[in-house]
Amino acid sequence: MNGMEKKLAEYKCDTNEAICLKLVRFAEEVDDESTTFHPEYSHQLYGDDEVAFGYKGLQIQLYYSAGNLITLFKVKYSARVTENFDCMEPDDVEGKIREIIPAGFSCNTDDFISLLEKETNFKPFGTLLHTYHVHNVEAGEDFTYQIHKVDVSCPGFREYHERLQTFLMWFIETASFIDVDDDRWDFFLVFEKYNNDGETLFATVGYMTVYNYYVYPDKTRPRVSQMLILPPFQGEGHGAQLLEAVHRFYCNLPKVQDITAEDPSENYVKLRDYVLVKLCQTLPSFSTDKLPLGFSDDMATEAREKLKINKKHARRVYEILRLKVTDMSDETKARDYRLEVKKRLFAPTKKNQRELTKMMKCLRPEELASHISQMDTALQQEELEKSYQEVLAEYRRVIERLAQA
C-alpha cells in the first residue's frame, strides 16, 4: 500500500460500527452512549464489504422514541475526503438511509426531545392477546409485557410499521419490506408496559409478520415471514412468548391447517423447537409411556389437530421428548434411540441411493464415475454419525431450557 492508499484508507468506516441505534424513553438517554446499539448487518445499503468511504469518525444516528418510534436522523463526522482530496467524492451515506426510513423524521435533537413528551399518548395497536411478566434482576422487580394482534386497518399502524420495519435491514440478513396492502398479512407486536411519574407508557419490544396462504379447499396455512426482538430486549425470553402466543392464536381458528415458517434461520428453528416441545409435552399421545414405542400416527394427528403442527415438526418434537425420558447411560435404550433418529436422518440418502441405482442402468461410464462417490458407505456412515451428534446437541439444549423454564 503506497502513501496515497494509506491516506485514503483513513477515510473508510465500518458501517456496522458507524450506525448508532437507540430506543429513547427519556431525554437524558439521547447522549447516553450505554443505550446505543449497532446493526449486525448493513450490506443491503452499503454493499457486501459494509464499508462507507469518504469520512473520518463517521456516525450515523438513528434514534427512535421507545413507543411510537418517532425518528431522529443525523450524520456526523470529524473529516470528509473532499477537504484534502479534491478529486475524491464521499459515498452518499445519508441518501442510503433516506431510501429506507419514511418521511417525517427529525434532523434536530431538540425537536426530537420535544416529541418525546407525546409518548404518553401512544397506546399499543390492535387486540391484546397475552400479558406476561419477566423478572428484572437489576431492577429487582417484575416488568410487564403485552402481545397484540394487529391488522393494517388500525389507525396509525401503517405509518408506525413503516418505521418499525427499518430495523429488519440491520438485524435480518436477507430482510425485505412487505406489501402491507395485502390483507392476508397478520401482525403481532410485543410491548413493554411501564410507569413514569404516575403515567402508563409503552415501549416497542419486537414483532412478527405472518402471511396466510390458501390451502385447498377451504383452509389457510399461516407462514411466519419475519420475526425480530429488538436488541435491548434480546435474551429475556420474549421470542418464545411471542411465538407461543401466535401458535395459540391460530390453534383457535378452525380454518387453519398448520403453521409454518418462510426460510427459517438457525436461531428461529431453535426457538420453534423449544416452543413446540413445551406445547406438545402435555398432549396424551406424547406421554412418557408412549414415547419409547416410537413416533405414531396418533402423535402426528393430535399435534396437527390441537396445535396446528405439521408432521415433520411433530416428529422432531417426538425425538426431543423421547431423548428427555431416555436413560442414555443404558446401552440398549441409547442404541434404540440412536437408531430411531438415524433412521430418519438416513431416509433422504436412502432415497438418493435407490434413484442412483436406477440411473446406473442407463449411465455412461464417465457419468457413472462422477456419481459413484455418492455410494461410499463408509463416508455415508461418517456423515450420518456427525449429523446425529449435531442433532443430539441441539435437542439437549432444548431440554436444558425446558428444565430452566
Return d(Cα 30, Cα 111) in angstroms, integer.
Answer: 12
pLDDT(374) > 70 = no
Residue range 283-404 in CATH 1.10.10.390: yes
Q: What was the pLDDT predicted at 361?
A: 59
Q: Do domains 3-119 and 123-263 have the same CATH topology?
A: no
Q: Is the peptide bond before 232 cis (omega within 30 degrees of 0)?
A: no
* 380-403 per-position pLDDT tens digit: 888 999 999 999 999 999 999 999
Return d(Cα 250, Cα 258) in angstroms, integer.
Answer: 8
Closest to 84 in 3D by CA, of 56, 50, 52, 60: 56
Q: What was the pLDDT predicted at 138?
A: 87
Return the C-alpha cell found at 155. Answer: 389507525
* 51-99 per-position pLDDT tens digit: 999 999 999 999 999 999 999 999 999 999 887 776 788 999 999 999 9
> How large is the average pLDDT for residues 108-128?
97
Which fold would CATH assign to domain 123-263? Aminopeptidase (3.40.630)
Return d(Cα 187, Cα 202) in angstroms, integer.
Answer: 17
pLDDT(351) > 50 = no
For cell 443404558, the residue is 330
Strands 59-65 and 19-24: parallel
| Residue 106 per-residue DSSP state | B
Q: What was the pLDDT predicted at 349?
A: 55
Q: What was the pLDDT predicted at 372?
A: 54
Strand-pairing partners, residue 24, are 65
205: enclosing H helix or E strand: strand 199-215
* 254-271 per-position pLDDT tens digit: 999 999 999 999 999 999
Return d(Cα 108, Cα 63) in angstroms, integer.
Answer: 11
Return d(Cα 201, Cα 122) in angstroms, integer.
Answer: 7
* 330-345 per-position pLDDT tens digit: 999 999 999 999 999 9
Q: Tell me, yes or no, if 262 is annotated catalytic.
A: yes
Question: Of 134-138, 290-294, 352-356, 387-391, which range is least confident?
Answer: 352-356
The domain ranges of the chain are 3-119, 123-263, 283-404
> Active site residue: 262, 355, 367, 400, which one?
262
pLDDT(243) > 50 = yes
Average pLDDT, the chain: 92
Q: How far is CA 225 from the centre of its chain?
A: 9
* 164-194 per-position pLDDT tens digit: 999 999 999 999 999 999 999 999 999 999 9
Return the C-alpha cell found at 269. Answer: 428453528
Superfamily of domain 3-119: Histone acetyl transferase 1 (HAT1), N-terminal domain (3.90.360.10)
